[in-house]
Amino acid sequence: MDPATLLTHAGRPQGATVTVNPVVARTSTVIFDSVATLQGALAAYAAGERPLVYGRKGTSTTHALEDVLTALEGGHRTRLFGSGLAAIACTFLAYLRPGDHVLVIDSCYEPVRKLCAQYLAGMGVAVDYFRPDLSDLAAKLRGNTRLVWVESPGSLLYEMCDLPALLRLVRGAGDAIVAVDSTWGSGLLYHPLALGADVSVIAGTKYLVGHSDAMLGVAVAREGAWPALAAMADLLGHSVSADDAYLALRGMRTLAVRLRHQQAAALEVARWLQRQPQVRTVFHPALPDDPGHALWRRDCQGANGLLSIELQPSVTQAQMHAFVDALQLFGLGHSWGGFESLVLPVQMAAVRTLSSWEGRGPVVRLHVGLEATADLLADLQQALARIG
């Protein structure tokens, strides 16, 4: 089934006469008619089923969203979290114990670095970073490596990682779990589990919700990796509200249409930016001259509205800030994946360990929304004029 069709039909109620959307089941307490019924529900939950037991353990609304995500990602089961970072942290904690070793890709989301430095190191977990091109991965694998964390394409500069090659190296060295931050792919553009990974994590706040009105994290696991993830999520009390699950379901119905439009618009903006004298580099894996383009063509089913630009090295921080402040249609703020265009200045020196940004220009991340592309280009043109 085409993913666009799946997004339209998966997770919908079944029956002779049903509503087209799931009911928003707002509840904390579930009432049972007898002790036997309660005990049966608890036993079913312990066996991995999804009976109604307690609001924190899931409702019909959250189950519907889980079903869509499991089908979209091709996994065994899905767990929902209050944010993408919560899903990331729970994944780390599910598979790591004191004395273990974790390998993290150097192009990871910046808060992952803080999690490693400010928490994992203190609990006795050794952390190393490896290059997105995998040139140093084999030398850094250890006998106690229990988790390899990948983000592909990478955060901010969208470096593609050869995930099948990484998996061959990791599987040849031991039994480490391979988990992938697939927020960029959002279940539609990139499929880590199909490529062999054990866990796919998505910040659903971005493209899944799609309307900038709900926080959500998602972790989809293969069968072998599922028990540890589910147990840790229960221990930490992770859950999402029925309302947020409903908002995500609503957003996902139009995910394929939104991404098609935003990919086309972002590519048009990226090509236009490549011709501007103030811009040195445009980072977008769908551009033919991007270093990861061949891997993108092999492993991805499209692109989204994200791109970053490196301004000329002669551009000062003040000029870069003037450019950002002059933009009228690109809102200045964190996150991305909604209907609106966004801009964010980036400090590259703080988000890479194994490479230097010395001598390079300032970097600005753009998210291209659903506005008319001609209007966005006119806005960028007038803002770039502030640089000269």
Catalytic positions are: 56, 109, 181, 206
The first and second tokens of residue 51, run together, are: 């009976």
DSSP, collapsed to helix, strand or coil, labels residue 128 as: strand
- What would the two tokens of residue 114 be? 């803080």
Taken in order 307, 312, 314, 319, is the CA torsion positive or negative?
A: negative
The partner residues of 288 in beta bridges, in order of sequence, read none
The single-letter code of the amino acid at 187 is G
Q: Name 105's bridge partners.
A: 130
HEC profile for 141-161?
Answer: CCCCEEEEEEECCCCCCCCCC
**Beta 145-151 vs 177-181: how paired, if at all?**
parallel
CA–CA separation, 104 and 131 (whole Å): 9
Count the residues in the chain. Answer: 388
In terms of C-beta density within 10 A (0-12 exposed, 13-18 middle, 19 or more buried), how is residue 42 classed?
middle
